Structure 1
C-alpha cells in the first residue's frame, strides 16, 4: 500500500513537471528549455564518470571524494537557469506565461541544486578506508569496520534514475551468508569512484 501511494505521488509530481515545462515552453521555446536541461544533465553525467583521488597513508588506502566537481556541475546548472531567466521579458513579469517560466527555473534548477548542495555539505567528511585486514567506511557519524576475512565477495549495485543519474553502492557477500551494503551514493562518491573502490577491494581479497 505504501509503495502504491509513493508511486501515485511520484506520478503526480512528474505530471506537474511536464505541465510546467509545456507552459514555460510557450514563452521561451522548447529548444531553449531542452538545451538548458541537457547542459545541466550532461554536467552531472560527466562528473559521475570521474575517478576519485586515492590517498595512501602507511598501509591504508583512503578514498574521500572531493566535492569540487559536483560544485562545478551545480554552477553550470545555475548558469543554465540564469540564462533562461535572462530570456524572460521582465517588463511583463506578472504575465502567466512568465510566471510559468520562472516556476520552471525554480523547479528544474534552483530547488534540485539546493537539495544537492545540502547533501554534498552534509556528506563532505564521508570516506572509505581499505587495508590488508579491514574495510572501514564513515557515513556521516556512523563508522563501520569489517575484517576482510569476513568478506566472501563484493559487487557493485547500480540503479539509473532520471535517465542519466546513477545510484551506486557496494554489496558485500559475507562468509556467514549475510549481506552488507556500503552506501557510496550517500557519501558523495561518483559511479566511477565506487568502481574504483570495488577494484581495490577485489585486489585485496585475492
Structure 2
C-alpha cells in the first residue's frame, strides 16, 4: 500500500511539473545551429513560422551562425497537428503537395482572422465549414505527406496571400464562395480571400 501511495504521489508531482512549467509540445526549446541550417529548415523541423523564429530571437536578417543558440517558440499541440493533418488528408487527397500546404494554411489563416474562431480545433469543427467533418472522413489517419504539409504550412505561416477559403469548382455550386477574390489555383482547388 505504501508503494502505491508513493507511486501515485510521484506521478502527481511529475504531472504537476509538466502542467505548471509549460513542458510539452507547446514549450519553448533551445536549438544550437548546425552546418547547413536555415531558418526555413528549422521552421520545418519544429513546425514554427520563420517569422516567429526571427521575432523570438530578435533577428532582422536570415543569417545564422554555426553554434548560435536559438529559442524555438511554442508550436501547436500534437493533437492539433494531427487534427489538421487529418483535415488536409481528407480535403486534399489526390491534390498536389502544394495544395495540401495551402489547405493547412487556410485553417491557420482562419485562426488569425477575426471572422473565425481562435483555435485550430474550433476552426475545423465550426458548423458547416469542412465536408470531412460532416461525412466522418476527418476521423481517418493522415498520410506522412499531409503531416509534412502541416509542418510546412506552420513554417510558412504569415508569408502567404491570406487565403481564407478554398473550393473545388467541379464539386460545388456555391455562388457565395465564387464571389471571393482568387489568390491562387492549385490542382482542382481554387483558393480565395
TM-score range, shorter chain: under 0.3
- The answer to which structure has the higher strand fraction is 1
TM-score, with length taken from structure 2: 0.23
Larger radius of gyration: 1
